[in-house]
Structure 1
């Protein structure tokens, strides 16, 4: 296990991180250039060696419900890799093209299928939300079951 000082030395090699002292001799490191609301990369690094790094959505890391991974037992190479991955994830904004399709039934009634983000497909009847789905396939199945087809 790396000591508090060793972890500090590793973290401080990342010039894009800004050190912030917090209570109980703990230290946070912020990433001010984050493209997201989340700015804290290293959370509550404690003199006993415990601490957390934000890794929500990063494959291969077991995180808590807030998206942090405990780094208490991390080796130097593992900590460096995690910090690189965390910073890269916070500085990268994925662009998602908005997909919009019109679906119509035999009575010429139209519904709009819209994808506004990576995880949500919405069906609108005019301005009214008719349904929300986790995938295009789920939304399309719903529309087909209701007698609609792509226009």
Structure 2
């Protein structure tokens, strides 16, 4: 488990986020350029190491009814990936459109039930699954992304 200081260092490395102090020594981190009303990416990070990351627009993530994921026991790579996916999911549509339009390093189209098409995009060391302009999920490896797509009934053409 990461210490509070280690979590702060990881979160502070995201220049897109702005730290805001809240009660009881906790901190929130806002993504001011969010394309949504929702701006808080990291919620109530506490000196005891507890805190939450917003994942309300992500699928395949174990979030509560408010879309929050508890990061108390997260390792460094997991925390970085979740924060990056959260920021991307809140990004204005123009950023998502750029990702879907083919500016990424690699991309694949996957076809599934009811003639749905998902786009698997490799970008910034992560694999993102998009449904149109909406981010569905993010994965650290290609293999994890493929497993997810296959489990959901999607196949490459």
TM-score greater than 0.5 by the shorter chain: yes
1:41 to 2:41 alignment: yes
**Residues of 1 paired with 2:72 and 2:41: CA distance?**
15
- The alignment covers a number of residue pairs equal to 96
Question: Offset at 1:57?
Answer: 2.6
Give the C-alpha shift of residue 92 in structure 1.
Answer: 4.1
Where structure 1 has 5 or more consecutive residues not aligned to the other structure, the ranges are: 96-117, 119-151
Residue in 1 that maps onto 2:56? 56
Shift of 1:59: 2.1
**Cα deviation code 1:74-124 (max 9, x no counterpart):** 0000000001100000004378xxxxxxxxxxxxxxxxxxxxxx9xxxxxx
Aligned to 1:20, the other structure's residue is in SS state: strand
Runs of 4+ in 1 over 2 A off after TM superposition: 92-95
Contact 2:33 2:92 in 1 (8 A): no
Pair member with larger Rg: 1
What is the rounded CA distance, in whole Å, between the counterparts of 1:41 and 1:57 in structure 2? 11
Q: Counterparts in 2 of 1:14-25, with a 5 A limit?
A: 14-25=14-25
Q: Which residue of 2 aligns with 1:65?
A: 65
CA distance in 1 between partners of 2:74 and 2:92 (Å): 25
CA distance in 2: counterparts of 1:69 and 1:21, whole angstroms: 20
Give 3-state SS (helix, strand or coil) of 2:8's partner.
helix
Write 1 or 2 for the structure with the bigger share of helix: 2
Query: Using the alignment, how far apart are the partners of 1:73 and 1:92 within structure 2?
Result: 30
Structure 2's unaligned 5+ residue stretches are 98-133, 135-157
After superposition, what is the alpha-carbon deviation per residue over 1:42-76, rounded to whole angstroms, capped at 9, x for unaligned?
A: 00000000000000131221111111000001000
- RMSD after superposition: 1.6
Correspondence for 2:85: 85
Secondary structure in structure 1 of the residue aligned to 2:10:
helix
* TM-score computed with the length of structure 1 as normaliser: 0.61
SS of the residue 1:36 aligns to: coil
